[in-house]
Structure 1
Amino acid sequence: MREKEMTGASKVSLAAIRALLERSLSGKGAEDASRMARDLGSVVATLDSSTGLRRALSDQSRDGAAKAKLVDELFGVTIGKECLALIKEAYTLRWSTPSGLADALEVLSIEAWAAAAEAQGEGERLEVELFAVARTIHSSRELQEGIADPKYTMVAKSQLLTSIFGDVLAKSTKQVVDAFVTGTRGRSIERTLALYSNTVVARKERTIARVTSAVVLDEARQARLTAALEKALGRKIRVDVEVDPYVMGGISVRIGDELIDGTVINRLMEASRSLAGRAVR
């Protein structure tokens, strides 16, 4: 499920565990991000395999300690500690449907793959090459049928795509291609590709802060704004500034679909300046 299709509690909870994912990956390299992506994908596959398990873990009336014990029993020796901590936190949150968490973890798995690509300097290539892969698959009925055919193993399907694209794709793109071939979750390959491509693009948009200011921001103020946003969001942010003397509140920031008003921004900047002042004393 695409993030935009999520509603209510699931959307709020996704934002919460996304922040935890970003903190977990902050300062980490491609190997750690790839491990997180694989671990999250493994958890999604396990959840998809059992309706009873999804219901048991999403049941808000069930004791939290019992849920944590079940998560440990299921995943304790198969996934990394940081992913395990994320899963345990996720089950303390509310989800609109029993499948809501699995849908959210799938989105985060894709975002972790994107983070791995960025760590390898292949973020832009991943976005472009996913589009090229989607276009190639869309143009070939035989390829679509081959990927969808249940008699072929996931390894065989991955090898089929490798035989077509060869060494043209970046390492990170190959990893993502393998992931979506094994993770269609009952969707068509085209819908799955669309989900992956849209999620990668949306993540990139969340690394760009589009700032509208009533006045020109000098370098010092722009640096404070960048530092404040990065601290609040737990990830690197690029700030693009546009001047509009009529902007409400003097300044606004849009990151992806989120609009942050001037009051919040000024508080963040003041906190950042205060912390910087303490650091130099």
Structure 2
Amino acid sequence: MAGVSTESLKKVEAVLTAQRAVSPDYLAKELFAVVDVLDADGGLRRALTDPSRSEQAREGIVQKVFRGKVSESALNVFVAAATARWSAERDLADALEHVAVDATAQAAEVRAGANTLETVLDELLTFINTLNSSAQAQIALTDDRALPEAKKKLALTLAGSPATAEGQLLIERVSVAPRGMTPARLAEKFVEIIVKRQKRSVARVVSARPLTDAHIEKLRRGLSQAYGQELKLDITVDPQVIGGLKVQVGDEILDGTVQSRLNELNRSIVA
């Protein structure tokens, strides 16, 4: 999102925050359901993003179609989104998906605190890394002939059978409603939404061998200090890097692996 859509998303997030008294896990499921309706109904989506319609007219459409079918809290969030301005038609559903993930994160915090939300992140990252390492699983999860329940079952297995209800909700979601993305990329987007909410970023670390807890904590502190913000480490082990670490934060890559140096040497020889 960019420009006017970014500002509109902030307004919708503020409305979501005002609904704290309700059950955030139920609210998240309702908002995901609204996203599905918008994705399936192009006429409704266009009507709610038509800049020539007044805010009152767009709110009227939401009230007519959805009142009595979703909770008052979900309706409030949807009205805020429908009466906002969006740079692109898809941005409306994208914003509702974003706040649905936010509501899921809130549910984890309300139920058991920050540690549970950290577990949700770990479950998403496990799913992403396991899926990315299996071409067969990637094909299975993007096969249009596969039944949704079969996709959900496979996705949960890839995630190591999530212990949290929130992790299960998000992983099932990416397996059956990737919305034009790959399941792994949508899961990455969900991780980005959650860590941004925590005012953090993800540091993807590739190591030649498993790191001890002490090494992981030392690395986390050092990287967080270097980048001036708390980082969530996503660590994978790849013996092919031979030695050292490869770290990626956003678009920046710090590669100190032996494999990287060997590749540079080979390139210099060939040249």
Q: What's the TM-score, normalizing by structure 1?
A: 0.66
Question: Aligned partners of 2:150 and 2:179: how far apart in 1?
Answer: 18
- Identical counterparts, % of pairs: 30
Segments of structure 1 that go 5 or more residues without pairing to the other structure are 1-5, 207-253, 256-281
Question: Aligned partners of 2:51 and 2:130: how far apart in 1?
Answer: 44
Q: Which residue of structure 1 aligns with residue 147 of structure 2?
A: 153
Question: Aligned partners of 2:159 and 2:56: how far apart in 1?
Answer: 47
- Say whether 1:71 aligns with 2:57: no
After superposition, give the CA deviation of every residue in 1:19-68 in whole Å (9 maximum; x if it has no partner): 1101112x55xxx1111111111111111113322221111221333322
After superposition, give the CA deviation of every residue in 1:230-278 in whole Å (9 maximum; x if it has no partner): xxxxxxxxxxxxxxxxxxxxxxxx99xxxxxxxxxxxxxxxxxxxxxxx
Question: Aligned partners of 2:158 and 2:89: how far apart in 1?
Answer: 38
- Say whether 1:18 aligns with 2:13: yes
Q: Which residue of structure 2 aligns with residue 91 of structure 1?
A: 82
Q: Which residue of structure 2 aligns with residue 127 of structure 1?
A: 121
Deviation at 1:164, TM superposition (A): 4.6
After superposition, give the CA deviation of every residue in 1:182-202 in whole Å (9 maximum; x if it has no partner): 220011112111111111111
Question: Aligned partners of 1:129 and 1:60: how far apart in 2?
Answer: 40
Q: Which has the higher contact order (CA 8 A, sep 6+)?
A: 1
- Say whether 1:40 aligns with 2:31: yes
> Does the CA-based 8 Å contact 1:180-1:196 persist in structure 2?
no
Question: Aligned partners of 1:7 and 1:164: how far apart in 2?
Answer: 33
Superposition misfits of 4+ residues, deviation over 6 angstroms: none
Give 1:178-217 correspondences, 5 Å limit.
178-205=172-199
Segments of structure 2 that go 5 or more residues without pairing to the other structure are 201-228, 231-271
For 2:89, the aligned partner's letter is: P
Question: Aligned partners of 1:168 and 1:13: how far apart in 2?
Answer: 33
Question: Aligned partners of 1:131 and 1:166: how far apart in 2?
Answer: 11
SS in 2 for 1:151: coil
Question: Aligned partners of 1:171 and 1:86: how far apart in 2?
Answer: 23
SS in 2 for 1:96: coil
SS in 2 for 1:24: coil
Deviation at 1:166, TM superposition (A): 5.6
For 1:195, the aligned partner's letter is: K
Q: Cα–Cα, structure 1 residues 165 and 105, in superposed 2: closer, same or farther, change >3 Å?
A: closer
Q: What's the TM-score, normalizing by structure 2?
A: 0.68
Give the superposed CA RMSD: 2.2
For 2:143, the aligned partner's letter is: D
Q: Which residue of structure 2 aligns with residue 49 of structure 1?
A: 40
Match of 2:72 among 81, 97, 104: 81
Question: Aligned partners of 1:61 and 1:192: how far apart in 2?
Answer: 32
> Does the CA-based 8 Å contact 1:17-1:86 persist in structure 2?
yes
